[in-house]
């Protein structure tokens, strides 16, 4: 099958078409050793996931993320992973996300009001994005 399609409606780390006949571009250095990846591996390595807790917080706090914001979060996760981070705080405008970098999973989300007077613990890095 040589048809390409875009995984844009999911939460991609990169907003680019994925072609099944090509080997995907991966963000980690072991990609060259693994060879061609399966479709499931592409999805697992490219998507930004949200834990049940984070999804509830997004809903409770009225936070809605646009596809370009999800792309920026995915890029921030890639940047944190490149520096060896495991758990990172991602700050974007008036929002904060605690992310498990290895799983590409947002574990909690906060808006500007929820961030005030908070101490962020059990993180090893912070990424500030525009």
Query: Whole-prediction pTM value?
Result: 0.66
Ranges of the chain with pLDDT below 70: 1-46
Number of domains comprising the chain:
2
Same domain flag for 80 and 33: no
Same domain flag for 68 and 107: yes
What is the structure's pLDDT at 73?
95
Give me the percent of the chain exceeding a pLDDT of 90: 57
Same domain flag for 39 and 53: no
Same domain flag for 53 and 36: no
Same domain flag for 23 and 64: no
For every residue of the chain, which 3-state class applies, written as one string? CCCEEECCCCCECCCCEEECCCCCCCCCCCHHHHCCCCHHHHHHHHECEECHHHHHHHHHCCCCCCHHHHHHHHHHHHHHHHCCCCEEEEEECCEEEEEECCCCEEEEEEEHHHHCCCCCCCCCEEEEEC
What is the structure's pLDDT at 44?
57
Same domain flag for 83 and 19: no
Same domain flag for 72 and 105: yes
Residue 116: CB partners within 8 Å, gap ≥ 6? none
What is the structure's pLDDT at 41?
58
With 0-12 / 13-18 / 19 or more C-beta atoms within 10 angstroms meaning exposed / middle / buried, residue 102 is exposed
Rounded to whole angstroms, how far apart are CA atoms 38 and 73?
24
What is the extent of the structural domain holding 86?
49-129
Dihedral in degrees, nearest 10, Cα atoms 37, 39, 43, 46 = 40
Rounded to whole angstroms, how far apart are CA atoms 118 and 98?
13
Same domain flag for 67 and 96: yes
Same domain flag for 55 and 103: yes
Same domain flag for 29 and 15: yes
What is the structure's pLDDT at 130?
86
Same domain flag for 42 and 78: no
What is the structure's pLDDT at 118?
87
What is the structure's pLDDT at 51?
95
Same domain flag for 59 and 113: yes
């Amino acid at each position: 099958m040589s048809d390409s399609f875009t995984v844009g409606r999911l939460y991609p780390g990169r907003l680019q078409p994925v072609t099944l006949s090509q080997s995907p571009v991966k963000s980690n250095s072991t990609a060259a050793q693994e060879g061609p990846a399966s479709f499931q591996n592409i999805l697992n390595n490219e998507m930004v996931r949200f834990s049940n807790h984070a999804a509830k917080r997004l809903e409770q706090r009225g936070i809605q993320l646009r596809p370009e914001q999800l792309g920026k979060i995915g890029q921030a996760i890639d940047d944190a992973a490149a520096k060896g981070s495991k758990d990172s705080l991602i700050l974007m405008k008036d929002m904060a996300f605690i992310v498990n970098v290895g799983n590409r999973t947002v574990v909690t989300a906060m808006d500007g009001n929820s961030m005030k007077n908070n101490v962020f613990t059990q993180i090893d890095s912070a990424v500030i994005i525009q």
